[in-house]
Copies of this chain bind each other. A is one copy, B any other.
């Protein structure tokens, strides 16, 4: 039986434009993407906020996937909105519009029933909110605390972010963010500097170049899944983290080998995420789909 995972992050309404198409008023947000992906492996508890404009039926799919929504607050006001556009290379999105709305005054409350959750993931959200969730776990620290962040918080909320980093076990960020956070040009120097800030385990995502896993027991270099046609990279980072945390929730022992396989699981889930708009492809994922691509990915680095 997989362990429970608590995730705090955003639930959002997105407008997304990619070279493959356009979608308006689409369910998004870091916690939503994470929950959808991680529910493939483990029972999820979600902490987030939506506005009075939010149609609860939007979450029927999450509910049907066994995601516990007791920690999702609905408050007066408008739901968080994000609009972004991807260029021809499907690289980092250009943010066209961000409306924090109900997230401006959000004070995350952890339901009593969530207090013993063994795995916690702080998805991309204001680091002060990430910190307040950790406060709720004082006295009964989870087995593993992971976090994500983004350029916006690295430059704008550095002090709050450094406090969070000092309290977590695992950080999952991309290469640009790693250079920005550490101020180091060399990626191995960057990793040293970031791990000295707190997280002993660091995953640096490099898009089509795969990912690096820095662990006290060594370094692991994960390849990416060879993709020829992308549809929408939105949420790929959250989905990567969901595969990693979700896989770890199925492991008795969280050692280096478990993290290696977790990074590969995250890579597999993220590759499916990119192949459809929004959650389209991840939602229809079967165990056979996952296992086949996992085997394909492992074959890429197998050598006698």
Tell me the A residues contacting B by CB distance below 8 Å.
88-89, 185-189, 206, 208-210, 218-221, 223, 226-228, 257, 260-261, 264, 298-301, 303-304
The answer to whether residues A303 and B88 also contact, given A209-B206, A209-B209, A228-B188 and a CB cut-off of 8 A, is no
Which residues on the B side are within 8 Å of A185 (C-beta)?
A: 88-89
Which residues on the B side are within 8 Å of A89 (C-beta)?
A: 185
The answer to whether residues A257 and B304 also contact, given A221-B223, A223-B221, A226-B219 and a CB cut-off of 8 A, is yes
CA distance in complex: A268, B264 (Å): 24
Which residues on the B side are within 8 Å of A304 (C-beta)?
A: 257, 260-261
CA distance in complex: A261, B223 (Å): 17
CA distance in complex: A209, B206 (Å): 9
The distance from the CB of A70 to the nearest CB of chain B, in whole angstroms, is 37
CA distance in complex: A206, B188 (Å): 17
List 5 A–B pairs whose Cβ atoms lie within 8 Å, in order of A's numbering: A209-B209, A209-B210, A218-B299, A220-B301, A257-B304
The distance from the CB of A187 to the nearest CB of chain B, in whole angstroms, is 7
By the criterion CB–CB under 8 Å, are B221 and A300 in contact? yes
The distance from the CB of A171 to the nearest CB of chain B, in whole angstroms, is 19
By the criterion CB–CB under 8 Å, are B189 and A221 in contact? no
Which residues on the B side are within 8 Å of A219 (C-beta)?
A: 226, 300
Which residues on the B side are within 8 Å of A301 (C-beta)?
A: 220-221, 223, 301, 303
CA distance in complex: A301, B226 (Å): 17
Interface-centre pick from A206, A210, A299, A301 (highest chain B CB count, 10 A): A301
The distance from the CB of A219 to the nearest CB of chain B, in whole angstroms, is 6
By the criterion CB–CB under 8 Å, are B187 and A257 in contact? no
Which residues on the B side are within 8 Å of A218 (C-beta)?
A: 299
By the criterion CB–CB under 8 Å, are B187 and A208 in contact? yes
Which residues on the B side are within 8 Å of A186 (C-beta)?
A: 228
CA distance in complex: A151, B19 (Å): 28
CA distance in complex: A227, B189 (Å): 10
Q: Smallest CB-CB separation from A255: which chain B residue? A: B304
